[in-house]
Amino acid sequence: MIPHIVAFRHVPNEPLGYFKTFLNEKKITFEYLNLFETNEIPSMANATHLIFLGGPMSVNDENEFPWLIQEKELIRRSIKTGQKVLGICLGAQLIASAYGAKVFPCVNETGWKMLTRENDALGIFSNVPTHFPVFQLHGETFEIPDGGQLLARGDVVRNQAFSCRNTLGLQFHLELTDEIIHDWSKDLPGNEQSKIARETPRFLVESNRLCRLVAEDFIR
């Protein structure tokens, strides 16, 4: 089956980023579903892969954003349709919530942080280093759903990546580019901006490499 990806975008400034670079290189077709414009989800019959991107809202804000309910239903239904699912930040929390796990506030994590890879029986993270840098921008976290496997943990916020059935959830952002980092950090306090600016040249290349590994496994 020829891959066709639908990416669920919750706000305009959280795009596919480096994932788009990868998809264009591989000539894999994709489209955005901009929920901030449509406020509803059409049929996903033509999609083989679903990517749920980030956003500032909580997965618990179903009264304010009713399409969160539709997204969770679509994630659960993807098992029957055979669609693979990738969730990033809010997207990972959507997967956790869709399968009954609690999503709740935590310490705010902003900027570059180091994570530790867990033993991965499924091999999803087999090519990821034991310790690796990621970019964080979140204030909520999740429990691992029943039947899920923890893939990466942090020192401050433990649950950072997991697999569950046909889904992969990443609390962190591997899709970053220089442009996205500049956009996301421009309104942060000066000391945080400076720290991110210093660390980005050290970590972004590795982040892009890890993004490519995850994308290759996701499409495979």
- Which strands make up the sheet holding 49-52, listed edge to edge? 29-34, 4-9, 49-52, 84-88, 167-170, 159-164, 149-153, 103-117, 131-142
Residue-wise pLDDT tens digits, 146-194: 999 999 999 999 999 999 999 999 999 999 999 999 999 999 999 999 9
pLDDT of residue 84: 96
Residue in the block written with tokens 């990972």: 92
Q: Chunked in runs of 10, what are the mean pLDDT values of the chain (220 residues)?
A: 94 97 97 94 90 98 96 95 96 98 97 92 80 97 96 97 96 97 94 96 97 94
pLDDT of residue 122: 66
Work out the angle at residue 141's Cα, subtended by the Cα atoms of residues 37 and 218, and round it to the nearest 5 degrees.
65
Q: Is 192 left (phi over 0), alpha (psi -120 to 50) or beta?
A: alpha
Which of 4, 19, 3 shows the shortest CA–CA distance to 207? Answer: 19
Domain ranges of the chain: 4-219
Residue in the block written with tokens 């304010």: 64
Residue in the block written with tokens 């530790």: 116
| CATH number of this structure's domain 4-219, picked from the four choices 3.30.1540.10, 3.50.50.60, 3.20.20.140, 3.40.50.880 | 3.40.50.880
Quick one: CA torsion of 21, 25, 28, 32, rounded to 10 degrees?
Answer: 20
pLDDT of residue 134: 97
